[in-house]
Structures are given as structure tokens and as C-alpha cells.
Amino acid sequence: MSEKVFSIESHSPLEFYGVGDRNLNLIKELYPKLKIIARGEFLKVTGEPGDVMAFEDFFTALNLHFDRFGTISENELRELAGSGGAEIVVRNSSPDVLVHGRSGMLIKARTKNQRRIVESVENNDMVFAIGPAGTGKTYTAVALAVRALKNKEVKRIILTRPAVEAGENLGFLPGDMKEKLDPYMQPLYDALRDMLPAQKLLTYIEDGTIEIAPLAFMRGRTLDNVFAILDEAQNATSSQLKMFLTRMGKAAKFFITGDITQIDLPKHQSSGLLKASHILNDIPGIDFIFLDESDVVRHQLVTKIIRAYEKESPVAHTKQAKPSAPPENENKSEESNG
């Protein structure tokens, strides 16, 4: 007799075993010669060596399926077991689907410009997505990063934002530095939670596969084999943005998002995103995608709010006419970072 313990710690036991242990009971039915005992995040399997080896192949394929889709049906379980452990894709997915999120949620590009973002990332190593709140810039970027990680196109995901205070003072927030910064990173955590099982996400963060850090922590590094996202780039100064962009290493994808209508920098500092849109737009391999109110995927009132604010305080639309030179009020004395 042979015995082996299998870990499901990267997945939610509820989703893996199924409601009322539906999946677990079916697995026991599919492998009647084995004694299968579930204890939390572990499966203990006992039986003849050949049967245990066959189950190991099945379990490997099952894990791959859960990594990709986040859920499994009864028919898919039967097909995986019947395939002798070979990885099969039985789910008919639209090519628009970027990631199969938690509980089978389909995450896809939902607007014309979001689809342009997906195409641009496939054809360029550095993409800027600029547009108002609610247009899915960050969410689409995170989905593309998770897809690249699952497809083994990159080894890590780096998510970063400038820790710029929007009317609040970091020093008055409770906790240590991580606890002070976490609220600024919350949109990134929220997106990741939609796309990865909680335990898998925790494992990725603990082992550094996914790193979420303030922009200042990028200084001096070279980022190889990563999908790096700089969110809220309108709040990075020109020197900070240059510092981030020049961290790009081999086999890397860089994605920069920002909303030039919500700049929280002090009045004496200029947004580096504005300058970048002037001086980088003609470089091959760098693309700028400009989103507008037609891309808003939040409540319908958000679109109306954006339009109302634009009427009250119009903002130059770089989508319609990209400036060829930096704004006249650009702070030319800003220190440069290599």
C-alpha cells in the first residue's frame, strides 16, 4: 500500500471541495479503489502505488484547472479523471475573457478603449492608459498582469502607486508604515481579490510573486520578467515617473495609469504624467490609450458627474490633440533620477 498527502493550500477549501463537499464526493466516486480523507487544506490518499500515481496526475491537472478558471463543474471533473490526468480545457470561453476570476467570474474588456488596451499590451512593452475615474484602467491592467502570470509570460507582478495624500496626512494615520500605506493600495488589492483565490493571493504576496509597494520603493531596482503597473501616475512628479520607467528590465511589461483631472500634488509640483504624454508619444514600443466618459463602467451617474465637472472646469483633451512640447509651466528645475 502507498500513502500520499496532497495540499490544496493555494485554493479555497470551499471552492475546491464544492458546496456540501460535492466535488470531494465525486472525486471519491471517480477513484473507488483509493481511500481519500480530507483534512482542511490537505488530502490524504491511500491505495495501491499505481492508483496513487494516477491520482497524482489527476490532482496536478485539477490544480492547473483551478489556477486557470477558479471553479470546476461535475462534467469537467469527470473529463479530467477520464483523461488520465492530461490537462484539458473543456470550458468554452470567449476570446475577450482576460481572466477567469473567483467562482468562475469572467473578467473581460468591456468597452472599445479597454479592448484597445488589451491589443496595445500585446504589441507594446510600455502602455499608458489615461482617463477619468471609473473607466477600468486599473482593473484592466491588473487583469492583464494576472493573465500574464498565469500564462507564465512573466515571473512576478509589481503594483505600485505614489503615496500622495489627497487632503489627509499620512503621519496622523494609525499603525506602522505598511498599515499607513495599505489604504492607498486598496484599489489594487480589490482587483486582485476578484481574480485570485484568497489563499493563492496571500501565498503570492508572501513569496514575492506579487509585490505591492509605494513608488519610492522602486528606486535603484531593475525589474526583469515582471508585469509592472504604476497606478495613479498623475500624482508622480516628472523625476519620479522617469525613475520608475527606467527600472524596466528584460522581458518586462510596464503599464501606467492616470487621471489628469485628479492631480493631488502640491501646487509647486507638476505632474510627470503630463510631461510624459508630450515627450514619449513618438517612441516605438510605447503606446498611449486615452479613455473618456464613454468607457465608464461604474454607475451611470458617474458619467454624468464627469461631464458636469468638465463643463465647470474644462481640461485639455490630449486624446484629441497630443501636445508636441511640455507645458510652459513645467518645473524645469526638477531633479533628474537615473
Segment 252-276, tens digit of pLDDT: 999 999 998 888 888 888 899 999 9
Pick from 219, 226, 267: nearest CA to 240: 219
Instruction: From 57, 82, 107, give the residue that closes a domain.
Output: 82
Q: How far apart are the first and last CA of the chain?
A: 62
**C-alpha to C-alpha distance for 24 and 64, rounded to whole angstroms:** 17
**C-alpha to C-alpha distance for 14 and 22, rounded to whole angstroms:** 10
Residue range 161-220, pLDDT digits in tens: 887 654 444 455 566 656 666 777 788 888 898 888 777 888 899 999 999 888 988 999
Q: Indicate the helix (H) or strand (E) that contains 103.
A: none
Report the mean per-residue pLDDT for the chain.
81
Burial class for 316, CB neighbours closer than 10 Å (0-12, 13-18, 19+): exposed
**C-alpha to C-alpha distance for 140 and 108, rounded to whole angstroms:** 8
**C-alpha to C-alpha distance for 157 and 196, rounded to whole angstroms:** 13
Residue range 86-145, pLDDT digits in tens: 555 545 455 567 877 666 677 888 888 999 999 999 999 999 999 988 888 999 999 999
Residue with cell 473578467: 107
Q: Is residue 92 situated within a structural domain?
A: no
pLDDT computed for residue 62 by the predictor: 85
Say yes or no: 220 and 72 in one domain.
no
Q: Is residue 91 situated within a structural domain?
A: no
pTM, whole model, 2 decimals?
Answer: 0.69
The DSSP-derived string for 273-327 is HHHHHHHSTTSTTEEEEE--GGG--S-HHHHHHHHHHHHHS----TTTS--SS--
Q: Is residue 321 situated within a structural domain?
A: no
278-287: b (≥16 Cβ within 10 Å) or e: eebeeeeebb
Number of separate domains in the chain: 2
User: 220 lies in which domain range?
Assistant: 97-312
**Of 53-67, 138-152, 275-289, minimum mean pLDDT range:** 53-67
326/175: higher pLDDT: 175
Pick from 280, 259, 266, 262: nearest CA to 237: 266
Say yes or no: 267 and 293 in one domain.
yes
Confidence of residue 323 (pLDDT cuts 50, 70, 90): very low
Say yes or no: 255 and 282 in one domain.
yes
